[in-house]
């Protein structure tokens, strides 16, 4: 069983706090952090500019490739159907997140399709584990939603 590097979840929390949003994400390989990004949907007027997608775009641009095999995605909140699908297409191996979709729903509207259910329908085994540093992540929801 894979265990998270908590400093990477902290990076996702810190970028979310810096950008005043409940949604932050980071991509890492082992103990090496590569990128962190926050939700920018309002700033960019782009409904696809979720934190996870922004992090994948940033890393893909940096590496000049779309195959992110070997990377772990850290997110302050459970990836929505769009974000977990993008992670599957990117071949990300592991996803760790803070708040669950039911928790997020207490603060914001959500599409109630859980990340693990979507991943189970995918073409690649992706390890997904939630409720990592959940209290710190929920504070972001309370503060910015």
Q: Among the options 3, 14, 20, 52, which is catalytic?
A: 52
Q: What are phi and psi of 119, to 5 degrees?
A: -60, -35
Interaxial angle between packed helices 134-144 and 6-18, expressed in degrees from 0 to 180 and rounded to the nearest 10: 10
Q: How far is CA 71 from CA 20, 21, 55, in A?
A: 26, 24, 12
Annotation says 138 is catalytic: no
Task: Enumerate the active-site residues.
Answer: 52
């Amino acid at each position: 069983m894979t265990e998270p590097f908590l400093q990477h979840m902290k990076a996702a929390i810190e970028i979310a706090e810096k950008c005043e949003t409940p949604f932050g994400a980071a991509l890492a390989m082992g103990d090496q952090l590569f990128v962190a990004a926050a939700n920018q949907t309002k700033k960019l007027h782009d409904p696809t500019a979720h934190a996870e997608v922004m992090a994948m775009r940033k890393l893909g641009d940096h590496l000049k490739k779309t195959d992110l095999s070997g990377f772990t995605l850290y997110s302050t909140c459970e990836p929505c159907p769009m974000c977990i699908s993008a992670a599957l297409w990117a071949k990300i191996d592991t996803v760790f997140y803070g708040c669950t979709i039911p928790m997020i729903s207490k603060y914001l509207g959500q599409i109630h399709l859980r990340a693990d259910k979507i991943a189970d329908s995918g073409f690649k085994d992706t390890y997904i584990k939630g409720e990592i540093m959940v209290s710190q992540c929920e504070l972001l929801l309370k503060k910015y939603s």
